[in-house]
Amino acid sequence: MTGTVCAGQYRQQPSGDAVEFFFYAVPTLIGAIVIAMAVAVINRHLRRREAWASGLTAEARCLRTYTTTSRHGDGHHVSTTLHHVYEFTPPAGRPVRFEEENGPGTIIEGDVVTVYYAADRPEAATVHAPDLAKSTATLIAVLCFFGVMLAFCVFFMVTANDMFDASESFDWDPTDPDVGADQEWP
């Protein structure tokens, strides 16, 4: 830690290494979260596409609907997610129960709906009707957004690195009484 004298009081300032650490750690953490979210979005798309491609359907009953709310940022923005719990019995004979987010708001408890599932993973079923073009376009748009976020994180770290390298050439101590002594002050 270094310090400066300001208005007769000594204040400690974080060392350059600690500041540099945060300028690298925060974008790295954000980048890791973005990559994890991208993997989750891709997996969800692939599971849904696999269920559609299998061609297997079954009649399922909606057992439960509920919503979850979450606050974002400063607590003023709230988002609500609609969840449905379904149960169906594939030809294998054992009942399968699964939950899906962001389903149609018109489906209520007790409704019978068509589900699409893959024979080897019936628990990864979906109620969403097959629409590969819309699903792929959404996937591409979301991945582009994540790519921009990741590119910004990399740009930020490269720029921070350049700034820290340039600041090393300004090696002066603000507590040194001789700093600025050769300048006239108005």
Contact 50, 118 (CB under 8 A): yes
Q: What is the dihedral of CA 173, 3, 20, 145, to 10 degrees?
A: -120
Q: Please tell me the least confidently modeled range out of 26-30, 47-51, 167-171.
A: 167-171
- Of 97, 119, 98, nearest in space to 51 by CA: 119
Asked whether the whole model's pTM tops 0.85, one would answer no
Q: 142-162, pLDDT tens digit by residue?
A: 999 999 999 999 999 999 888
Contact 114, 127 (CB under 8 A): yes
Tokens 């994540």: give the residue.
146
The answer, yes or no, to whether residue 22 has pLDDT greater than 80, is: yes
SS3 call for 147: helix
